[in-house]
Amino acid sequence: GAGVSQSPSNKVTEKGKDVELRCDPISGHTALYWYRQRLGQGLEFLIYFQGNSAPDKSGLPSDRFSAERTGESVSTLTIQRTQQEDSAVYLCASSLRDNEQFFGPGTRLTVL
Amino acid sequence: DAKTTQPPSMDCAEGRAANLPCNHSTISGNEYVYWYRQIHSQGPQYIIHGLKNNETNEMASLIITEDRKSSTLILPHATLRDTAVYYCIVRVGNNQGGKLIFGQGTELSVKP
């Protein structure tokens, strides 16, 4: 079946612009996660959605970062006024409740 | 911060068993040990997880010491396609906890 998909696969933007990254989770998966991976580094947790519960936003690095999820479907991660240090691969994962997480291919964001 | 320590890199000959160690000396009673791997330019992939008993699936075996302070992931017959970064993660519960806290992982190179 279809896995987690993310779009765009690559995004180049200028410093100060806003960007929106999209994640389509596996159908029926109630949990959705966003992570960030800087070049040569491990993954950093950003935010976690589980059903109708309040999201766990504890990993968001600043108030320029926000995310929304509509029900148990699509999620968007928004970065406002992008900075060069925001350059990274942004990975989305989904899971059925909190079991094994299935990761998407990621969006590579480059801020010039 | 990650609660695990792993060697930064390891080599393994193709066809031989790859044994990847992980220390998690501060693991709590309700925390599971999870292993994921990340092949270059792809999202992480779940391998296996366990609480205190040894586990085996089609990909690997997980051996957890009796005191649960360390574990070993075993790839019984490594292939070139197993070259990846392997992450050992401790996480609360089997159906709880949400986010994964990734450390730096072990970069496994399988050589012909």
Which tens digit of pLDDT belongs to each residue from B78-89? 999 999 999 999
Is the predicted pLDDT of residue A17 greater than 60, yes or no?
A: yes
Q: What's the pLDDT at A59? A: 92
C-alpha to C-alpha distance for B60 and B75, rounded to whole angstroms? 5
Q: Which chain B residue's Cα is nearest to A50? A: B98
**Average pLDDT of the segment spanning B74-99:** 85
Q: Do B100 and A56 touch (CB under 8 A)?
A: no
Predicted pLDDT of residue B1: 61
pLDDT score of A70 more than 90: no
CA angle A60-A53-A21, nearest 5°?
Answer: 40
pLDDT band with cut points at 50, 70 and 90 for residue B14: very high
Contact: A103, B101; criterion CB under 8 Å:
no
Residues in B touching A100 (Cβ below 8 Å): 46, 49
All residues of chain A having their beta carbon less than 8 Å from the beta carbon of residue B98 are 31, 33, 48, 50, 56, 98
Place of tokens 């609360």: B92
Chain B segment 29-68 residues within 8 A of A by beta carbon are: 36, 42-46, 49
Q: Evaluate the CA torsion angle A82, A85, A89, A90 in order and state its sign.
A: negative
Residues A85 and A102: their CA atoms lie apart, in Å, by 26
pLDDT score, position B95 = 53
**A33/B98 Cβ within 8 A:** yes
Sign of the Cα pseudo-torsion (B15, B70, A42, A104, in order): positive
Centroid of chain to Cα A40: 18
% chain A with pLDDT above 70: 97
Q: Which amino acid is at B102?
A: F
pLDDT at B98: 72
For B104, which of A42, A56, A93 is closest by C-beta distance?
A42
Closest CA to A4 of B37, B42, B34: B42
The size of chain B, in residues, is 112
Helix (H) or strand (E) holding A51: none
pLDDT at B94 over 90: no
